[in-house]
Structure 1
Amino acid sequence: MDKHTLFSSFGKWISPINFQQLQEQVTSLRQDAYTKKLTTEAYIKLFLLAHLQETDSLAAISDGLLDEDLQQAVGFRAISPSQLSRKHREIDPSLLSTIFVDLVQHIRHFHQRSSPRMPLKTIDSSTIPLDLTRYRWAAFRKTKAGVKLHLRLVYMDRHTTYPDKAIMTPAKEHDRGQLEVLVDDKEAMYVFDRGYIDYERFDRMTDDGYFFVSRLRKNAFVRVLESFSLAEDSPVLSDQMVVIGTYQNRTENGFRLLKVDDTKGNQLLLITNRFDISAEEIADLYRDRWAIELFFKWLKQHVKIKSFYGFDETAVHNQIFLALIVYCLHVLIQLETNSEKRILQISRWLKAALWKSSRVWIRKFDNRSVP
């Protein structure tokens, strides 16, 4: 009997979650002190499955318990939508945050073994709109409400990326305010867009030994200190050392400024504090930031994130953390099986083989199999 025989595909998928460690935290927070049936562990299993299957409502989650395999997985045969709602808004988001962080550590372990190069970390945010009439606590304009997910995404290769830090704020929070929280590793290369432009912070990052590449606004004032030569076939249009800003408010350090064309022929200005690699490599690093756009697109299209199962802040935060956990679980099975299959394909196969032996699911990850 191999290690996959003991698990259903669903059981195999959630196996990286340390439920024993979770229970210690649950006990410390008295999270299940008055719970008779819907424990925190059962809640997590039900709501992860709801994300996976993009279940429409709490009533639909409740109805899903007609499935005998699901009953066995959570330990009871029925639960009301009102009980689900109460648990969803009472769970401390720190519990789900801890699970997310623990899964990220597992992924980093795989990454460090497989890639000796400096990690590429992309920083960006995405606003998740909410109905103002139901989510007044998240109002940020007269007619709009929303929360903002500030994210740091690690780019391993074109097949594998993963979120390794997430911060949720009201939608009115500016991106720049999160940069210092999201930049904390001097052994990484950071990539971010124009929303994070801050000349003073660029100086501090450089002085503190952090490396970055970002996009500069076209109307930025620059003074050229030196121009560098380029290969004849280089896609980079120019490569210069510059000081950014006016004489009254400018950077203290010299930075490297590249002019490149994007895929639509629009000219981009890229700013970086790295002079030790080629201009072409810098341009490629910035192009790799598309991965975070794809991640946000996946999050909004393939888990339950456009609408929420509860209306208070805790319920919204819990649902977003659960969505991130779903993605990390997909990445871990991708890494464990050394597969180049897309996350979307992994998710589809899981849904098709949910309560079958995990061997049925795992066999599909053979890179020689037909997608």
Structure 2
Amino acid sequence: MDKNTRLSSFSKWIAPIHFKKVYEQAENLKQDYYTKKLTTEAYIKILLFAQLHETESLEAMSDALLDEDFQKALGFESISASQLSRKNNEVDPGILAALFLDLVYQIQGFHKKRLNSSMPLKIIDSSTLPLNLTNYKWATFRKTKAGVKLHLRLVFMDKNTVYPEKAAITPAKEHDRNQLEVLVDDKEAMYVFDRGYVDYERFDRMTDDGYFFVSRIKKNAVTRDVYSFSLPPESTVLSDKMVYIGSTQNRAENVFRLLEVSDTKGNILRLITNRFDLSADEISDIYRSRWAIELFFKWLKQHVEIKHFYGMSKTALQNQIYIALITYCLHVLIQLETKSKKSLLRISRWLKAALWKPAYIWLRRFEKKAVP
């Protein structure tokens, strides 16, 4: 209690960040060589504050320093928008990428304690972040559009807890399939992805290399039946077969399992997998877990600031996206530490309401039971 009495809620929230490592990286890269007050550490704190409050501009960040508590947390009384802009364009995104991965490693420490005998579920997808073509010509992907893609691997712990584990940021014109090999690197996991990642040759390589997956394939995908599995009467799966996929000119060499299931709207989905040890309904349930990454992207776009970017360079944009992911991870870590079933949105709201108050005031909210 003493420690949390001394700490503010903001300090408690960012406590998992190893600022000593950040300092060492900044020193090695000479990021703070000529810096008097806006160090990389201070920059990270300001950007995290901005993400928490969904601050839309550098000017608004500068104005936020009128708060004396914020000044104490940073160690200085003011900073201009131009100084923030320069720092935003200078900080090496590798520092924030490393920080993100360090927080992921901490989350994994909690995850391993909760793992059962089943393989962890890892969902792969991407989300396009649109940009103004006039200001972001380097990110052009159509005649009238610009944008970047956030390619992500999300770990599904349970319906209440998911976390991003690996991320790649590319121009929007980059095809999803090109990132599959980057995001698939753990043979002790089950991967889930949508039809945008369908690549028969890569499916063969994944199978030969011992990676397990389930994916949706297109309605018009050519398949040749090898064997039909019987289904129990209570199954919600429409069909379960062993098949070859692809045409004569473009066919996978391995035999796969093809399931047909219906979604909540009654549409027929065709699912392909290289797992034959699970029941058809288990495979169907695994694929249905893919909704978690859709909710994750929706959460990011609604509750942190990645719709309005603070800079126009690749560096500034990547830094802001990594800060958004770091914000999410910090919320997950407090959720895991307190063993809370509260939503991340509720956790964030409580944090903002008690930001500069002693941390125990924020933390004790997690202990209160809901009023019936």
Q: Is TM (by shorter chain) over 0.5? A: yes
Spell out the pairing of 1:265-276 with structure 2 (5 A cutoff): 265-276=266-277
Spell out the pairing of 1:194-343 with structure 2 (5 A cutoff): 194-343=195-344
Distance in 2 (alpha carbons) for counterparts of 1:154 and 1:367: 28
Distance in 2 (alpha carbons) for counterparts of 1:131 and 1:251: 41
Structure-1 residue corresponding to 2:146? 145
Deviation above 3 Å: which 4+ runs of structure 1? none
Asked whether the equivalents of residues 203 and 253 of structure 1 are also in contact (C-alpha less than 8 Å), the reply is yes
Residues 99-149 of structure 1 show CA distances to partners (whole Å, capped at 9, x for unaligned) of 000000000110011112311000000000000011111111111000100
Structure-2 residue corresponding to 1:48? 48
- Taking only the aligned residue pairs, the percentage that are identical comes to 69
Asked whether the equivalents of residues 339 and 367 of structure 1 are also in contact (C-alpha less than 8 Å), the reply is no
Distance in 2 (alpha carbons) for counterparts of 1:26 and 1:111: 30
Structure-2 residue corresponding to 1:192? 193
Structure-2 residue corresponding to 1:156? 157
Q: Any stretches of 5+ residues in structure 2 without a counterpart?
A: none
For the residue of structure 1 that corresponds to 2:4, the secondary structure is coil
Residues 277-323 of structure 1 show CA distances to partners (whole Å, capped at 9, x for unaligned) of 11000000000000000000011111110011111111000000000
Distance in 1 (alpha carbons) for counterparts of 2:175 and 2:293: 18
Structure-2 residue corresponding to 1:115? 115
For the residue of structure 2 that corresponds to 1:46, the secondary structure is helix
Structure-1 residue corresponding to 2:57? 57
Mean CA deviation greater in 113-122 or 85-94: 113-122
Asked whether the equivalents of residues 340 and 367 of structure 1 are also in contact (C-alpha less than 8 Å), the reply is no
TM-score between the two structures when normalised by the length of structure 1:
0.99
Residues 183-223 of structure 1 show CA distances to partners (whole Å, capped at 9, x for unaligned) of 00000000000000000100110010000000011101111
Distance in 1 (alpha carbons) for counterparts of 2:250 and 2:83: 57
For the residue of structure 1 that corresponds to 2:226, the secondary structure is strand
Distance in 1 (alpha carbons) for counterparts of 2:245 and 2:301: 37
Structure-2 residue corresponding to 1:67? 67
1:367 Cα deviation (Å)? 6.4
Asked whether the equivalents of residues 239 and 259 of structure 1 are also in contact (C-alpha less than 8 Å), the reply is yes
Amino acid in structure 2 at the alignment position of 1:105 = Y
Distance in 2 (alpha carbons) for counterparts of 1:367 and 1:187: 38
1:249 Cα deviation (Å)? 2.1
Distance in 2 (alpha carbons) for counterparts of 1:54 and 1:332: 20
Alignment of 1:8 with 2:8, yes or no, is yes
Alignment of 1:167 with 2:168, yes or no, is yes
TM-score between the two structures when normalised by the length of structure 2:
0.98
Distance in 2 (alpha carbons) for counterparts of 1:84 and 1:249: 52
Distance in 2 (alpha carbons) for counterparts of 1:320 and 1:109: 24
Structure-2 residue corresponding to 1:134? 135
Amino acid in structure 1 at the alignment position of 2:248 = Y
Does the C-alpha gap of structure 1 residues 364 and 158 become closer, same or farther in structure 2, counting only changes over 3 Å? same
1:365 Cα deviation (Å)? 1.4
Amino acid in structure 2 at the alignment position of 1:325 = I
1:370 Cα deviation (Å)? 4.7
Distance in 2 (alpha carbons) for counterparts of 1:115 and 1:342: 21
Amino acid in structure 2 at the alignment position of 1:308 = F
Distance in 2 (alpha carbons) for counterparts of 1:172 and 1:156: 31
Q: Any stretches of 5+ residues in structure 1 without a counterpart?
A: none
For the residue of structure 1 that corresponds to 2:130, the secondary structure is strand
Distance in 2 (alpha carbons) for counterparts of 1:222 and 1:135: 43
1:238 Cα deviation (Å)? 0.5
Distance in 2 (alpha carbons) for counterparts of 1:369 and 1:185: 40
Distance in 1 (alpha carbons) for counterparts of 2:198 and 2:262: 20
1:369 Cα deviation (Å)? 3.7
For the residue of structure 2 that corresponds to 1:66, the secondary structure is coil
Distance in 1 (alpha carbons) for counterparts of 2:367 and 2:253: 53
For the residue of structure 2 that corresponds to 1:133, the secondary structure is coil
Distance in 2 (alpha carbons) for counterparts of 1:104 and 1:369: 30
Structure-2 residue corresponding to 1:30? 30
Structure-2 residue corresponding to 1:182? 183
